[in-house]
Structure 1
Amino acid sequence: MNIQRLSWAGIRIEAGGTAVLIDPVTRIPDRFGGAREPMHPLRTYGEADVVLVTHLHEDHFDPDAIIEAFGADIPVYVPSAMADSARAKGLTNVIGADVGESFALGNGVKAAALPSVDGVGDVQAAWTVEACGRRAIHCGDTLWHGYWWGIAAQYGPFDAAFLPVNGAVLQLPGRLPSGQPICLTPEQAVAAAAILTAGMLVPIHYGTVHYPPVYTETPDIAARLAAASEGKVDVRMLKAGESVALG
């Protein structure tokens, strides 16, 4: 199993001749200041057979880019409650996934939708992908929750966990600010990876967006990951386009 990090929170998994994209995007919304790093067309990273989406926020779901790169009929798996909304964006082969539901993606590659908790109360799912005796999990932009132990018991151990680390604090119009992170902080991501019995933690969802006071990324991410992970989990910080081979 070969896993390539894409821009922002996206990854590409290739195993057994099947290529799976999770949360591939080519843009960051202007209301969050746009992207501070280059965002590349999805074809830059190669072909895709299937797309898995954790939730429909614009920085995780880019239907125009998916259609442009792979056509409207590529299979796109989304949380069931969001399936009609995804179809309304022009995708013609949307499959709704309930938490706990598993899917055969072809050539021995399997995926399952797992619990995840969105920081603003929207529907979200994590995805685990298994192939060639290896297993990876991508948790979208989850915040801390109590499902980690159950996921580890039923689906673990994992060779790699792709977790958000930027602990972003939002200040949105019409909403009373909480001052609390809407996704995992570096320390929380390390704790989650350890509970998930992940062989490595690959941080995602950091570096590209920082637009205070609307979207404020937590500081000193790399140093805090290094300090928190010592003796607990191997942290592999990949740039967009870089890959890691599992097994």
Structure 2
Amino acid sequence: MTKQRIVPIALGIAGAAWVARAAWGLPAQIGATTGKIAPYAAGSARYRDRRFHNTEPSSSFSGGGDESILVSFLRRRAQGKPQQPIPLAPQVAPVDAGEIAVTWYGHSSVLVELDGKRILADPVWSNRVSPSRTVGPSRLHPTPVALDALPAVDAIVISHDHYDHLDKATIVRLASLQTAPFVVPLGIGAHLRHWRIPEDRIVELDWDDQTEVAGITITCTEARHFSGRGLKRDLTQWASWAFAGPKHRVFFGGDTGYTVKFAEIGAKYGPFDLTLLPVGAYDPRWADIHMNPEEAVRAHGDLGGDVLVPVHWATFNLAFHPWSEPIVRLKAAADSVGVPTVVPMPGQRIDASRGSQDDRWWARLG
């Protein structure tokens, strides 16, 4: 066989091997099928025509903007990464949970301490947020702490089923390390069952449903977003969450566009000592389902929030804005109306009862 024939054959074999690696385990990563999800979703008033719907008309992609997605990718994608490594805070995990504190592990992964209890929300410890282990957005910084180094938690809460919020490997590992229940929006329980999470550890809620865990009332509240892990969208519900203890309250936005429903949530379940609100991955082309920083400040006011802690930024490059722009814009908008904000670095614990301050760490990274 000639060299001219060997080279294409070798390239073809290498390409096939790469595709095989990229596709390895996809069905398990994607989760439950439509048929397994539908029986749990069908009871919701928001579930019609075999899919969930936002209260306000919403598009996950409007197609507008000054340039195409391809042009944006080619021209501006590199802006989403800092010029220097993102710093990690030293691990701080008190033996006893605090009265009102939060540790940010990156993106939307947070550990909330509320009246002596702990709630872990949207835990994602994998390197990529994708059904593939070799393709998809990867971390801009390492995980600040190993999963097995987390303290015992009282509940694990999920906002929706996108890969940057619901990660199979993390969920399966947590199920073996922790004994806490998984509290999720309607339909997501089917994914957990597919991954062999015990039925008695799954609590599924619709908007405005509540459950009590360890003396903390956990309420599934409305969000303006969408869902989907495969080719079909909106098979499972998406949500924000309100956590209420005997003395303090926390709102967790997960991932959402701005909605007038925040004012109703604030009136019904607030006011909140802390609001944890998404501020990154925004773009005019998907403005309905991702808030920008100014909208996060507005939502914080609607919710009756005291201190705003931004999430959903700096860990995965998911849009086309400069990596630190969400916080620059957030600080400017918050300062203009007197909203207190704290911006932790990944792994940093913020004790709101002590009036913690940030040191503008992001400004040093370029």
TM class, shorter-length? 0.7 to 0.9
Partner residue of 2:346? Answer: 240
Determine which structure has the larger helix proportion and give its number: 2
Aligned residue pairs: how many?
234
Give the drift of 1:239.
1.6
Whether 2:148 is the aligned partner of 1:43: answer yes
Letter of the 2:271 counterpart: P
Determine which structure has the larger strand proportion and give its number: 1
Whether 2:255 is the aligned partner of 1:141: answer yes
In angstroms, what is the RMSD of aligned CA positions? Answer: 2.1
Point out 4+ residue stretches in structure 1 off by more than 4 angstroms.
none
Whether 2:274 is the aligned partner of 1:155: answer no
**Which of 90, 93, 104 lines up with 2:212 in the alignment?**
104
Partner residue of 2:311? Answer: 204
Partner residue of 2:129? Answer: 29
Gaps of 5+ in 2: 1-98, 228-232, 354-366
Letter of the 1:136 counterpart: V
In 1, distance between residues paired with 2:226 and 2:210?
Answer: 25
Report the identity percentage: 24
**Which of 326, 335, 339 lines up with 1:221 in the alignment?**
326
In 2, distance between residues paired with 1:135 and 1:217?
Answer: 34
In 2, distance between residues paired with 1:13 and 1:42?
Answer: 16
Asked whether the 8 Å contact 1:45–1:241 carries over to 2, the reply is no
Asked whether the 8 Å contact 1:100–1:112 carries over to 2, the reply is yes
Give the drift of 1:115.
0.4
**Which of 163, 166, 189 lines up with 1:83 in the alignment?**
189
In 1, distance between residues paired with 2:115 and 2:206?
Answer: 25
Other structure's SS at 2:272 match = coil
Other structure's SS at 2:285 match = coil
Asked whether the 8 Å contact 2:158–2:184 carries over to 1, the reply is yes
Give the drift of 1:156.
1.1
TM-score by length of 2: 0.59
Gaps of 5+ in 1: 170-177
TM-score by length of 1: 0.86
**Which of 206, 219, 222 lines up with 1:115 in the alignment?**
222
Asked whether the 8 Å contact 2:226–2:238 carries over to 1, the reply is no
In 2, distance between residues paired with 1:19 and 1:203?
Answer: 19
Give the drift of 1:73.
5.8
